[in-house]
Amino acid sequence: NDTATTEIYTSLFVGSVDVYKRQALGLAQKAGVARAAVDLGLHDSQLYDWRHTATLRRSQSDVEQSQATEIARLERLLAEQA
């Protein structure tokens, strides 16, 4: 087994899992969690867990974006004072 090949297959698998989860969450939003779970052959709790994880990731991303914006502002302020 070639390590590079394994990494490629792993990234493809992880990427496709993320796409599936996003699509499943989109269906849950449109049709409701219970209906989506039945349609996809999943437990309701799985969709709720994916939704919770996605919300946490978005929140973390929002915080990181705010921090990046503040850092850029402070760097500009420092540059003006130099």
CB 31 within 8 A of CB 39: yes
Which segment, 7-16, 37-46, 53-62, is predicted with the most confidence on average? 37-46
Q: Read off the pLDDT of residues 12-23 as tens digits, 9 standing for 90 and up.
A: 666 788 888 989
Mean pLDDT of 24-28: 93
Quote the longest CA-to-CA distance of the chain: 62
By three-state DSSP, how is residue 7 classified?
helix
Mean pLDDT across the chain: 87
Mean pLDDT of 57-65: 85
Structure token digits, residue 24: 């499943």
CB 37 within 8 A of CB 43: yes
By three-state DSSP, how is residue 13 classified?
helix
State the pLDDT confidence band at 71, using cuts at 50, 70 and 90.
Answer: very high
Mean pLDDT of 75-79: 92
